[in-house]
Amino acid sequence: MSLRILAGARRGRALATPSGTGALRPTSARRRAAVFDILTAQLGDLAAVTLADLFAGTGAVGVEALSRGAARVIFVENDPAAARLIRRNLDSLGLADRARVLQNDATRLAGTGAPVDAVFLDPPYGRGLAERALVRLRDGGWLAPDAVVLVELGRDDAFTAPAGFHLAREHPHGAGRLVRLEPEA
């Protein structure tokens, strides 16, 4: 599998990917482009943005954010091999100084030091993990009041925005969809 950075300072650089088929489902180039179209439309320049990439897998979305100038990215990935792969990619691309990798279950997050401006969640399809992770983000103080929250879901995945979130828009993409949420005051 070939995975390349789409834009920014590291445009065109390849990311290391896991060998074999495994359980990781990297976010496609088309969907990553859509994620950043939405983020830049909502937030403008990413230079002051801190993004949390939950269920990070290969880390492609977070690495893309760093390449596009995001101030900081927090990667949350439960699988030890995937967390090592993210660290390896960050080191090889010279981006580790603006990143933090938490090997942690996104549905069991503790509080964070400072709220983030944007969150991308890409949980395994069909397991209802997004709602549980969103509750932890809300309760753990992870979200800035005007944070942009994007959830990648399978096309047919059931999803109900948990209390504290307003469903702003759904964006269909191939076999999946992006759901944009806004935290409620």
Tally of domains in the chain:
1
Q: Tell me the per-residue pLDDT of 30-76, one tens digit each, with 9 for 90 and over.
A: 888 999 999 999 999 999 999 999 999 989 999 999 999 999 999 99
Measured distance CA(65)–CA(60) in Å, rounded: 9
7 vs 74, residue with greater confidence = 74
pLDDT of residue 23: 58
Within a 13 Å sphere around the CA of 135, how many CA atoms are in the beta-carbon half? 9
Least reliable range by pLDDT among 17-21, 22-26, 146-150, 164-168: 22-26
Count CB neighbours of 10 within 10 A. 21
Task: Report whether pLDDT(1) > 90.
Answer: no
95 vs 171, residue with greater confidence = 95
Range of the domain at 23: 3-183
pLDDT of residue 148: 96
Q: How far lies 161's CA from each of 12, 55, 70, 103, 180, in Å?
A: 35, 18, 26, 25, 10
- Residue 20 banded pLDDT, cuts 50, 70, 90: low
127 vs 22, residue with greater confidence = 127
Closest CA to 107 of 85, 73, 140: 140
Cβ atoms 1, 17 nearer than 8 A: yes
Q: Which pTM was predicted? A: 0.93
Cβ atoms 128, 145 nearer than 8 A: no
pLDDT of residue 54: 97
Mean pLDDT for the chain? Answer: 91
CATH code of the domain in which 92 resides: 3.40.50.150
| Rounded percentage of the chain residues whose pLDDT exceeds 70 | 95
Q: Tell me the per-residue pLDDT of 96-134, one tens digit each, with 9 for 90 and over.
A: 999 999 999 999 998 877 899 999 999 998 888 999 999
